[in-house]
Amino acid sequence: MSTPVLSVRDLVVEIPTRHGILRPVDHVSYDIHAGEILGVVGESGAGKSMTGNAVIGLLDPPARITVGQILLSGEPVHALKGEKLRRLRGKRMAMIFQDPLTSLNPLLTVGEQLEETILEHMNVSQAEARRRAVAQLEEVGIPAAEARIGSYPHEFSGGMRQRVVIALALCAEPELVIADEPTTALDVSVQAQIIALLKRLCRERGVAVMLVTHDMGVIAEAADRVAVMYAGRLAELGPVREVLTRAHHPYTAGLMASTPLASQGRKRLVQIPGAMPRLGNLPQGCAFHPRCDRAQDVCRRDPGPTLDAYRGRAACWFPLNTEEKAAT
């Protein structure tokens, strides 16, 4: 297989606090290949956004990467700082934020923001930058792009603004896009359009996309593979169909059971008992064991097999849905 666009290897992010060191990302490994969408799913505080921020080098101090590697097309980028890191951002990896209302500068026109980004990363003239900006807006589906390029962000609707944000992220043709909850702040009908747009751009340009979300529907719709995170650790990693239909990790199974589906009619939704533990207060062993009905002694002692990018699917001692494999 070709070199993945993004390889996260054994990544640990730590935040030193007065009450000890917190570990919002704990030995996480995965790959994303060109043209592939990896969905990263989990509850608030599971470390999914933190992983994205770590990749693009936007961790807010004092959070920092303490262990592990981040490889962008094989090159290590986790130790880059300052100017070298800045040159990569936008040019080779880009990020899309949750709220299109706040991610655009209200005092600069859409065109100014696009042209600025293009001029920063590409060796083109002002006129060429403008032409590309218009083309980029057209590509993300802004009607009358030529006329709207001089508009300010507040003159666009929420969905259109998110399209502008996507155009901004993609305008310097990055290899990797980290989309951090790109649809959470949008209407449901607009959500589907934005997801479709992301999918189309990913396929057409061969961009690797890391789609961070807490919405299982979005994952099912868009992702090729899915990484389920729980309390900073990777709980399960695998192709989206398999993970969604035949979850190995009890947490994933619980998430699926608690997702409302129209096909199930008006049944009462299943809840996972309890809540995700706070980072400063993780139980020993597997972080999920207090909420897990399959937990045994070993789960309380040992955090379970670590998932890496190549082996294993669920970080669980007693995975579900593995009968046929166990039989062989």
Q: Which residues bind another protein (CB under 8 A)?
A: 56, 58, 86-91, 94-95, 97, 99, 102-109, 116-117, 120-121, 152, 154-155, 157, 165, 168-169, 172
CB of 275 to another protein, least distance (A): 28
C-alpha to C-alpha distance for 211 and 196, rounded to whole angstroms: 13
Pairing type for strands 225-230 and 233-239 reads antiparallel
CB of 234 to another protein, least distance (A): 24
Q: What is the crossing angle of helices 126-139 and 158-170, to 10°?
A: 130
Omega before 277 cis (within 30°)?
Answer: no
Of 14, 48, 16, nearest to 30 by C-alpha is 48
Q: Which is nearer to another protein, 152 or 318 (CB)?
A: 152
Q: Which is nearer to another protein, 32 or 247 (CB)?
A: 32
Rg (CA), the chain: 21
Q: Which is nearer to another protein, 106 or 265 (CB)?
A: 106
CA distances (Å), 150 to each of 119, 125, 130, 163, in order?
17, 18, 11, 16
CB of 113 to another protein, least distance (A): 8
CB of 136 to another protein, least distance (A): 13
CB of 178 to another protein, least distance (A): 8
Of 46, 58, 57, nearest to 79 by C-alpha is 57
Q: Which is nearer to another protein, 46 or 104 (CB)?
A: 104
Residue 212 tokens read as 């961070």
CB of 309 to another protein, least distance (A): 24
State the sign of the Cα–Cα–Cα–Cα dihedral 322, 323, 326, 328: negative
